Amino acid sequence: MEQKDFAIRNMYADLGITDDVYAFGAEILEGLKERFTQIDETAEYNQLKVLKALQKNQVSEACLLGTTGYGYNDLGRDTLEAVYADIFHTEDALVRPQITCGTHALALALMSNLRPGDELLSPVGKPYDTLEEVIGIRPSKGSLAEYGVSYKQVDLLPDGSFDFENIKKAVNEKTKLVTIQRSKGYQTRPTLSVARIGELIAFIKNIKPDVICMVDNCYGEFVEKIEPSDVGADMVVGSLIKNPGGGLAPIGGYIAGKKECVENAAYRLTSPGLGKEVGASLGVLGAFYQGIFLAPTVTAGALKGAIFAACIYEKLGFKVVPNGTESRHDIIQAVEFGTPEGVVAFCEGIQAAAPVDSHVTPEPWDMPGYDAKVIMAAGAFVSGSSIELSADGPIKPPYAVYFQGGLTWQHAKFGILKSLQSLKNKGIVSKFFP
Ligand SMILES: *Cc1c(COP(=O)(O)O)cnc(C)c1O
């Protein structure tokens, strides 16, 4: 054994990874070199794309400071929004700490661009859980339904393809906005590639050219070289405590898109008449700038972790979505353990790998809004951040765990090995680790 490898193994051993678990991972990694090179190439491209936008907008030291109070003439905020618009190749962008999370950003984009009597269409099946209450699929105070905005949904076909025939039937004179979720979220459908999103948008615009196409871009940013706004989306929307915050943004959301769409969102976020002109950035701009600068490589690390996990757990005989060889369009990895013990052991391993709160043991609990107990592993610098190494699993069949993040590839790798170690220690994978 080489000296170097020996030193690393010793370090892993110190952190509780046994030789057999390490070797299992090492063998998997051997087969991933080519894919990792491709991921690095995408990261390189996106790194330059972000840098180009920062330079073009002449980001200066003064931009990092921020304002208090009303936030008139906040140079850093306005410049950052121009940077986002350049990265996403859109006319304008709204990037604010006052947008509290991804759901808020999406609700804002929808509620500001729809009016009573309009109809919203999802041609890709049921949207993310939290949007059910925004839309009013699950009755909720203040939902779009309460304001007289109706909703239509066309599910994907069983093979995951678009149901073009029924989408065509669903588009009518009331259809104002089409919402397309890129990531599969907590469903089993495939995540949509940007190219497929482009096909869908072209099809819809061909039927009704003035319809607004919005893409829920959560978890998808920087996974590919292009974004949905490069293939016709009028608005792309996401959370800064996922990919584009690069792990540094402590809060926030963004909406990038057509000037009119972004303007509508700004008037709704602040007030008619005020729009983008107010909204102090307080002290977060440094983190927002540095976060978007790091986001391409952070996303690449998370992506490598997702693929590594898929290959490990696939080899152990568990169902993984996406599988070990599929192309990737977001950073989420699902693993079906089939037993509650598997889900719990996995999450305990992820928690034990965390830089913060590694000494606590996660337990399933009754989370609001869920119909089963959920276990969550998160030892993050930013509370709830899912670009950091994290996992969660509802304790109900098929006993799947959803894994994502890792601010560095090295940490993601360690977390996954730690999860495997946890399963081994509990005798859940005894066929492979006697
Ligand atoms: C995370 C996520 C959301 C909601 O974001 P929150 O920050 O959790 O409110 C919406 N859609 C998708 C696809 C997501 O992954």
Positive/negative CA dihedral, 181, 137, 202, 50: negative
Q: How far is the CA of 131 from the centre of ligand 1 (A)?
A: 9
* pLDDT, tens digit (0-9, with 9 covering 90-100), for 199-219: 999 999 999 999 999 999 999
pLDDT score, position 370: 72
Positive/negative CA dihedral, 384, 387, 390, 392: positive
Q: Confidence band (pLDDT; 50, 70, 90) for 2?
A: low
Cβ–Cβ under 8 Å, residues 402 and 333: yes
pTM of the model: 0.96
Q: Is 331 helix (H, G, I), strand (E, B) or coil?
A: coil
Q: Is 251 in the pocket of ligand 1 (CB under 6 A)?
A: no
Q: Is 216 in the pocket of ligand 1 (CB under 6 A)?
A: yes
* pLDDT, tens digit (0-9, with 9 covering 90-100), for 109-158: 999 999 999 999 999 999 998 999 999 999 999 999 999 999 999 999 99
Q: Is 336 in the pocket of ligand 1 (CB under 6 A)?
A: no
Helices (H), 270-352: 285-315, 340-352
* pLDDT, tens digit (0-9, with 9 covering 90-100), for 306-353: 999 999 999 999 999 999 999 999 999 999 999 999 999 999 999 999
Strand ordering across the sheet containing 253-257: 92-96, 253-257, 235-239, 212-216, 175-181, 119-122, 150-153
Q: Provide the mean pLDDT of the chain.
A: 95
pLDDT score, position 366: 87
Give helix 19-30 / helix 3-14 axis angle, nearest 10°.
Answer: 130
pLDDT score, position 4: 65
Q: Where are the domains of the chain?
A: 3-45+293-425, 60-282
Cβ–Cβ under 8 Å, residues 182 and 215: yes
Q: Confidence band (pLDDT; 50, 70, 90) for 197?
A: very high
Q: How far apart are CA 377 and CA 124, in angstroms?
A: 29
Q: Confidence band (pLDDT; 50, 70, 90) for 3?
A: low
Ligand 1 pocket test: pick from 179, 192, 216 the residue with the most ligand atoms within 8 Å of its Cβ: 216
Q: Is 133 in the pocket of ligand 1 (CB under 6 A)?
A: no
Ligand 1 pocket test: pick from 134, 186, 218 the residue with the most ligand atoms within 8 Å of its Cβ: 218
Q: Is 333 in the pocket of ligand 1 (CB under 6 A)?
A: no
How does DSSP assign 358-405, residue by residue? TTS----B--TT-SS-EEEEE--SSTT-SSSSEEEEESSTT-EEEEE-
In the predicted structure, residue 1 carries a pLDDT above the cut 60:
no
Which homologous superfamily does the CATH classification assign to the domain defined by 3-45+293-425?
Answer: Methioning gamme-lyase, C-terminal domain (3.90.1150.60)
State whether CATH 3.40.640.10 applies to domain 60-282. Answer: yes
Q: How far apart are CA 264 and CA 91, in angstroms?
A: 13
Which residue lies with its CA nearest to atom 12 of ligand 1? 218
